[in-house]
Amino acid sequence: MTTPYETLNGKIALVTGGSRGIGAATALRLAREGADVAVTYVNGKDAAEEVVRGVEALGRRAVALRADSADADEAAGAVALTAERLGGLDVLVNNVGVGVLGPLESLSLADVDRVLAVNVRGVFLASRAAASRMTAGGRIITIGTCMTQRVPGPGGTLYATSKSALIGLTKALARELGPRGITANIVHPGPIDTDLNPADGPYAPDQAAMTALGRFGTAEEVASTVAHLARADYVTGAEFAVDGGHAA
């Protein structure tokens, strides 16, 4: 049996896709709780470096790593780079993801391949690489979507398919890694106010109306749940909806 973390002091975390939105909020929240943090990015170098400065301002170490999760070597390589630059890995947050929405007939093979490469294969490879380095107390936390619980309209087939695969991955990881004291959980955000899906955007009123609370969530609200799971010990193989009641 391991002991739950009261804080994350001395822990090392990797947040994939951590340059903006939920990823950036998560990196900063983990740092506030004491963790050193690595974040990955593909095109958002300036934004990632801003997150690094924010983590450092909290008195923690940080590093920004360019890694495209669609590339098999880079997906796993980000874990190795984190361990090399920061001295290990205790918490992996699989946040990176891409969404291609549209009617079935509009989705190209290239769309299918990229979404599955980033959202499924990349998460699998990063989790496998992390598990090989983690000791008892390791945490793997994956960001899913409310669309695995309820798909409110057409156009989300490919995205929902890719994120639903992560539920099975999470439960299987929990079973396989549990004997080693490593937990695996998945968080399903609902409509969250980010640059890609702003709360004042053209589709926001309809999305907000689908929640029980009638509003968008914030990236910080999702990050709070991730931080809890990074500390929790007797929670694994579980799904957590941070969706304002979208699936109610």
Active site residues: 159
Is-contact 184 236, C-beta < 8 A? yes
**Which residues neighbour 44 within 8 Å (Cβ) at sequence distance 6 or greater?**
19, 20
Q: How far apart are CA 231 and CA 242, in angstroms?
A: 17
Walk across the sheet containing 239-242 and list its strands.
62-66, 36-41, 12-15, 91-94, 139-143, 183-189, 239-242
Going from the C-alpha of 131 to that of each of 89, 92, 93, the distances in angstroms are 9, 9, 12
| Beta carbons within 8 Å of 213's beta carbon, 6+ residues apart | 244, 245
CA distance 212 to 227: 24
Q: In whole angstroms, what is the distance from residue 29 CA to residue 34 CA?
A: 9
Q: Are 140 and 187 in contact (CB under 8 A)?
A: no
